Amino acid sequence: MSLRNLRKAGCMTMLLLGSLSIGTAFAEGRCPSGQYPIGGQGVGGCAPIPGSGRGAPVENPGYWVKTWGAVASSATGDAGSATGHQAKGAAERQALERCGLGGATDCEVVFTYYNQCYAAVGATRPHNGVMFHTGATKRQAQERAIQDCKATGSQECTFVHSDCTKAFFQEG
């Protein structure tokens, strides 16, 4: 082979090797496996290749479910409560049922709540009755109910009952 042919062959080899190395270096650009380059002109990033499984968004990870509680009472003093129901109506029905267990026939729902705690405080003179308040914890709800009771001028504010109903996470 002449020097001229060798130089031609060498240039071709260099050109071929150069194009292979460039093609290999930029096959996926500057991105890791499973991603492709996006952007341009000095501003770039990487995005997941659809269907690659890496970095793909989760379709339906789940959702938070609201839960309800309710309190029912009657003029005779009977009462009932329910907690942890996914429907407000279901909580109210159970509270009414529990109120009627003692024989009361005039039970009415007097308080409903969801995703929190509640407390009931009995107030006496001059405002006889029960006061309700909510809070993140039973203690917080009770403190708030007692404060409300005292703010009405009641001489005695007695804790009656408290309970909580919390949202829960339902996996998709």
Cα–Cα distance between 61 and 91 in angstroms, integer?
Answer: 28
The values of phi and psi at residue 52, to 5°, are -80, -20
Contact 69, 118 (CB under 8 A): yes
Q: What is the pLDDT of residue 51?
A: 65
Q: What is the pLDDT of residue 37?
A: 74
Of all residues in the chain, what percent carry a pLDDT higher than 90? Answer: 56
Identify which has the larger pLDDT, 125 or 100: 100
Q: Give the mean pLDDT of 40-64.
A: 69
Query: Which pLDDT tens digit goes with each residue over 129-168?
Result: 899 999 999 999 999 999 999 998 998 999 999 999 999 9
Candidate from 2-11, 60-69, 124-133 with smallest mean pLDDT: 2-11
pTM over 0.95: no
Q: Give the mean pLDDT of 104-127.
A: 93
Q: Cα angle vertex 128, ends 84, 76, to 5°?
A: 65
CB-count exposure of residue 133 (10 Å: 0-12, 13-18, 19+) = buried
Identify which has the larger pLDDT, 37 or 107: 107
Q: What is the pLDDT of residue 46?
A: 74
Q: Is pLDDT above 60 for 55? A: no
Q: Other C-beta atoms within 10 Å of 123: how many?
A: 23
**In the structure, what pLDDT confidence band is assigned to residue 29 with cuts at 50, 70 and 90?**
low
Residue showing tokens 């496996």: 33
**DSSP E strands: which ranges in the chain?**
35-40, 43-48, 62-65, 68-73, 79-85, 108-114, 116-124, 129-135, 156-165, 168-171
* Sign of the torsion angle spanned by Cα atoms 118, 119, 124, 130: positive
Q: Cα angle vertex 74, ends 72, 75, to 5°?
A: 150
| In 26-100, alpha helices (H) | 88-100
